[in-house]
Amino acid sequence: MPSIPMTPAWKTTPSGKLRARGLELPFEGICGPHNAITDVAGVSVGYSTLIAGDGPLVAGKGPVRTGVTAILPRPVETIHEPLFAGFFSLNGNGELSGTHYIEEAGKFSLPITITNTHSCGIARDATIRWAVDALGDRYHDDFSLPVAAETYDGFLNDINGFHVEARHVIAAIDAAHGGPVEEGSIGGGTGMKCFGFKAGSGTASRLVRFDGEDFTVGVFVQANFGTRRHLTVLGKTIGADPDLPQVQSTAPDRELSSIIAIIATDAPFLPHQLKRLARRATFGIGRTGGMANHGSGDLFLAFTTASSGIGGGGIRNVRFVPDEDIDPFFEAVVQATEEAILNSLIANEAMTGRDGNLVPALPHEAVKRAHGLTA
């Protein structure tokens, strides 16, 4: 595999926030040029972020700390065409719509959206509205079952205020672009926390060479899970350090937690194989200290952009990586999931939300010190 020269996108987000590689952490594997899900050609990411108000919670008024993330698996011109996909639920205390059809037929179409728990329905419905309005004659199906997912942001956000509207979902879809991806408290990840630190949106990628071809595996996470004492950064458990800043709240933190992982690849796989890839996100989460707590919705979707022309109309021929040769792709999913979670934590800042609840940022120096990187 040809070496990929390090780019600024490996170390910082487009807004200049440090990513995990900006701390010189020794990650395994070779990432793509942007170290993002958008390294899979044709995949794009867009956000709509809602931040407003401070002080005591007034339902329907705020404070607001939420948003929407849109992941487009294909360019808009062909986004109505189905792709092979697979789904896995590690712990089902959450929602990812469209999974019944994915389990039945092994495919899906249209943008993927991720938001807060009580806005998942409007994200789904607004995606259909966007398709009807934006695609015109290219969109002619009688019904749609788009993918919409959620994690809980009620510790910081007025989650029962229903601040996410159809226009915000459509704006996130319309804002989707390739290239470097912003991370941290943005889009659907705006109000999220992970291991008691501010988290949210994160992404990473890995390159895999197989049978003379170079393929990409990209992962995007909305990270909102984990118990503080379990936090592990590349094998170093740092969450139990009593000197780390703590969550501040006037009421008990119920640690309602979840993680959504979206896995994209340009390698040719069949639906049952994509389900197997999705399942491997489990190990990336476990590397960071996640244990799929009872209250956690740990839901993973994998798709391949290599599938085309798989709708009705006659016999189709497809190619695929044999199951016996799938292990390097499993490894890529594990590595990219772990790094995406750490990026969501490291490319972040402390946030105060409803009722003055404060979620601190993960101190960069503590991460570096655990790996002997502090001078």
Confidence at residue 375, expressed as pLDDT on a 0 to 100 scale: 52
Cα gap 358→350, rounded to integer Å: 7
- pLDDT score of 316 more than 90: no
Helix, strand, or coil here: 283? Answer: helix
Structure tokens, 40: 């899979």
Show Cβ contacts of residue 110 under 8 Å, excluding neighbours closer than 6 positions. 79, 80, 127, 128, 131, 144, 146, 147
Helix, strand, or coil here: 204? Answer: strand
**pLDDT tens digits along 17-68:** 999 999 999 999 999 999 999 999 999 999 999 999 999 999 999 999 999 9
Q: Provide mean pLDDT across the span 274-301.
A: 97
Helix, strand, or coil here: 291? Answer: coil
Task: Band the pLDDT of 142: cuts 50, 70, 90.
Answer: low
Name the average pLDDT for the chain: 95
* 127 vs 143: which has the higher pLDDT: 127
Task: Band the pLDDT of 310: cuts 50, 70, 90.
Answer: confident
* Domain ranges, ordered by start, for the chain: 28-370
Task: Band the pLDDT of 257: cuts 50, 70, 90.
Answer: confident
- Is 28-370 in CATH node 3.40.50.2000? no
- pLDDT score of 276 more than 90: yes
Confidence at residue 3, expressed as pLDDT on a 0 to 100 scale: 63
- pLDDT score of 141 more than 70: no
φ/ψ (deg, to 5) at 232: -130, 130
The count of residues in the chain is: 375
Cite the active site residues: 258, 296, 298
